[in-house]
Structure 1
Amino acid sequence: MSATSIHITALDGIVNVNSLFTFAVFIGLAWNPADPNNNLIDPTQPPDCSPSPKTAERLVCFHVYSFSCFLFSSLVALGLKQAIRLARDSPAHWPIDLALVNKTGLRVGYAFSAAGSVCGSVFLMLALVNVVQIKLGMLGCGGSRHGFAAVVPLVILVPSGLLIYVCTVLYAFTR
């Protein structure tokens, strides 16, 4: 497998994953957090445990930030992919190689694309924490056991996956 096809496959992977996350963001934005019929909060909880309008605002903001980051990451990845294809299809008809692509520029592009994906994932995680608070009650209240049960795996697994992703990207920079 040539270096060019490896890079194009990696960029396709970034775009595909970002597309899935972007779809999740759209589903999250389409959901109406103010819908009284879509609420799982125990009515016997104290009023302080009910989510405030600020929680719904943060939910929407984090979804928009997440969407922006995933879109940025995908656009950078698509731009890099196009640059590789243009260099590959140059009139010189050289063998498929990255010889014509500025490797420093490629690495910087990968870094920006990876940073966009990481930031988008963090914002999506924060949006999901707000969804849990809206659906199950504020996490600061003692009665939100189910909320903690939903959030704890989220805040452990997502950062762990992001750490593995960042380490892999950094390792790729050294090769």
Structure 2
Amino acid sequence: MTPPMFFSRAVDGTPHDGGDTFLSRLREPGDVALLVVFDTWVRNWDRFFDGEDNADNLLYVKAAGRRKYDLVPIDHSSCFIGNDVDFPTGPAPEAWVLDPNVYGKFPAFDPYIDAKSVKRAVERLSQLERDFVVEVVNSIPAQWGFGPNAALSLVDLICGRAEYVVNTISGRLVDEPEIPGLVK
């Protein structure tokens, strides 16, 4: 039996080149911080982690009718559990929830990550609602054999990981994160 597969629409894009050829022409430069916060939340080691670069997992797509580009991440197959083979039926390992590593942060991204864009990304992640996560996890096809215990563990991992990243990522991405109520 072939397991269900999911695909997204095809886009005509150019892979990340390691430099700022396309970064300097982004329509939304703040999307760089959004991507790094997202990749860190989902522990996406398959894009960029610990010096290992998989530029094919990041595309720059020309914005319609413009001379600017959009950042389009692709391939999220290595999320949350990393390269571990099986998801546990009990609670996810604490090391997964409290993983302090930053993922998806290509060296060329550094000049594009600032306190304002990190704050925006963290605010978006902080809006993740457990009920929504439960709904998404419950939509996993039965053919995958992902039982109720594993589903609950995945929900706890996704939500716990989001809370951890929201509370810790700013200081790991910017030297001077914005402090609410403090005016510079």
* Common fold by TM > 0.5: no
Say which structure is richer in helix.
1
Q: Flag the structure with larger Rg.
A: 1
Greater fraction strand: 2
